């Protein structure tokens, strides 16, 4: 039951929105411009889509059939394999599948790659919560790209069409990761960050920093969608951390918040 509550809270916090394709690309462009202005070199980007696709519970047979359709629609390449024996060298030949089937809970998760090298995760969750008389099935799709981010547009259109076919709303979180060689000089970063804020007409809502780490939540009118926390709007999250072992400073820029580890 704990996993159900946590998942429901995530969907509640990320208020469902109905982004258009051009809106999605526009948000991504804002993140890219911020990273370049901070002189970060892109190393990885991730987009995560979430939506409730059915107000009802799916048992094993039904959710398995749906999962297989999602694999075909998103073009995962190769053959299905146990995730515990999937190796990096076989990423273009296999994709993994994990399942959980219980009386009141079903979950299927696929991880693999499409023919364009996009790393794709498909997660289907279905549950019954008798305490509040609720049955729901949700679909989460994430894309991770670690080279040419401009080639991500086609897969975005495929994903948006999937949610439209279910006639449901979806929410989206995006995160771009970049890095700078060495430790970013504090004064230099401060100057560039001020310039970035001006370029996006941004306002810092909250900030935190210590010796090697800083985090900022920001609101910018350039991005239409936002979250409201403590009656304040936020739609950009920037974190910067110096990695002493690698001697790189990493920058995470997400909208509306960073959902990946940093």
What's the 3-state SS for 180-208?
Answer: EECCCCHHHHHHHHHHHHHHCCCEEEEEE
Q: Quickly count: other Cβ atoms within 10 Å of residue 55's Cβ.
A: 10
pLDDT value for 212: 86
pLDDT value for 120: 94
pLDDT value for 145: 83
Q: Are 140 and 49 in contact (CB under 8 A)?
A: yes
pLDDT value for 147: 64
- CATH class held by domain 46-175: alpha beta
pLDDT value for 117: 83
Q: Are 66 and 58 in contact (CB under 8 A)?
A: yes
Using CA atoms, how far apart are residues 96 and 202, in angstroms rounded to an integer? 41
pTM, entire model: 0.81
pLDDT value for 237: 97
Tell me the residue length of the chain.
Answer: 262
pLDDT value for 86: 53
pLDDT value for 85: 66
Q: Are 159 and 70 in contact (CB under 8 A)?
A: no
Q: Are 240 and 248 in contact (CB under 8 A)?
A: no
Using CA atoms, how far apart are residues 97 and 107, in angstroms rounded to an integer? 10
pLDDT value for 148: 61
Task: With a cut of 50, list the residues of the chain below it in pLDDT.
Answer: 1-21
Dihedral angle of Cα 151, 140, 73, 95, to the nearest 10 degrees: 80
């Amino acid at each position: 039951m704990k996993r159900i509550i946590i998942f429901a809270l995530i969907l509640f916090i990320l208020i469902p929105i109905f982004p258009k394709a051009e809106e999605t690309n526009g948000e991504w462009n804002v993140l890219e411009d911020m990273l370049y202005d901070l002189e970060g070199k892109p190393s990885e980007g991730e987009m995560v889509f979430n939506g409730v696709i059915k107000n009802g519970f799916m048992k094993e047979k039904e959710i398995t059939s749906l999962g297989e359709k999602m694999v075909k629609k998103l073009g995962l390449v190769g053959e299905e394999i146990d995730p515990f024996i999937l190796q990096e060298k076989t990423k273009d030949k296999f994709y993994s599948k994990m399942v959980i089937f219980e009386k009141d809970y079903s979950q299927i998760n696929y991880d693999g790659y499409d023919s364009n090298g996009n790393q794709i995760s498909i997660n289907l969750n279905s549950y019954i919560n008798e305490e509040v008389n609720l049955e729901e099935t949700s679909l989460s799709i994430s894309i991770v790209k670690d080279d040419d981010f401009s080639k991500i547009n086609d897969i975005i259109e495929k994903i948006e069409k999937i949610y439209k076919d279910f006639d449901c709303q979806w929410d989206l979180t995006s995160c771009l990761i970049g890095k700078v060689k060495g430790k970013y000089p504090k004064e230099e970063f401060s100057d560039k960050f001020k310039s970035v804020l001006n370029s996006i007409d941004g306002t810092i809502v909250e900030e935190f920093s210590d010796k090697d780490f800083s985090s900022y939540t920001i609101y910018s009118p350039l991005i239409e969608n936002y979250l409201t926390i403590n009656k304040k709007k936020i739609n950009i999250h920037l974190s910067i951390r110096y990695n002493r072992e690698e001697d790189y400073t990493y920058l995470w820029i997400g909208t509306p918040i960073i959902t990946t580890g940093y």
